[in-house]
Amino acid sequence: MPRIRVEVDGATYEDEVEPRLLLVHYLRERLGKVGTPVGCDTTNCGACTVLLDGLSAKSCSVLAVQADGRSVTTVEGLAPDGDEHPLQRSFHREHALQCGYCTPGMIMASADLLRENPDPSEDEVREGLEGNLCRCTGYQNIVRAVRSAAAEMRGSEVAS
């Protein structure tokens, strides 16, 4: 079995894994990082989105072996210990989640979006999150939360 070395949320792990082990199952079942859930089999829902070397990736469609030597950030490691990322705060503030199952992936995809575009328009947020499905919110408050976090991260208030 291949041996992999992966940095996840700031800690380094070494494991022997079956080649077919999905990254999301490695995170959940081997590392106990269950903050990243699985919602589909076809890369459609985005619930399992993490950052792989800083770029969003659907961890259900990446093999753990492919993450060898790379760094993974999950929703659990998005903010420094005990703190919350502006997106985590804005999702709460703007009521951008209900059941919360899509939320980890939605937040990670949003973090990626804001890395590329620190001041996205409403349409840009909607398009940027096209790979993440939510069944509860109708997305409106998610869009609002992402723009609100963007404003906070830019250090100014968003014009509504």
Distance, CA of 37 to CA of 48 (rounded, Å): 5
Residues 28-47 within binding reach of another protein (CB under 8 A): 28-29, 33-47
| DSSP output for 130-146 | TT---SSSTTHHHHHHH
Q: How far is the CB of 146 from another protein (least distance, A)?
A: 9
6 binds another protein (CB under 8 A): no
Task: Supply the minimum distance, in Å, between the C-beta of residue 5 and another protein.
Answer: 14
Nearest to 66 by CA among 19, 7, 12, 16: 19
Of 25, 7, 145, 20, the C-alpha closest to 85 is: 145
Task: Pick the closest to residue 125 from 95, 100, 101, 96 (CA basis).
Answer: 96
CB nearer another protein, residue 54 or residue 154:
54
DSSP type of residue 11: E
Among 31, 141, 150, 151, binds another protein (CB under 8 A): 141
Determine the size of the site formed for another protein (CB under 8 A): 79
x/- mask, another protein, residues 95-114, rule CB under 8 A, reads x-xxxxxxxx--x-x--xx-
Contact of 111 with 46, CB cutoff 8 Å: no
Restricting to residues 47-86, name those near another protein by CB under 8 A.
47, 49, 52, 55-58, 60-63, 65-66, 74-76, 79, 84
Q: Least distance (Å) from another protein to the CB of residue 106?
A: 9
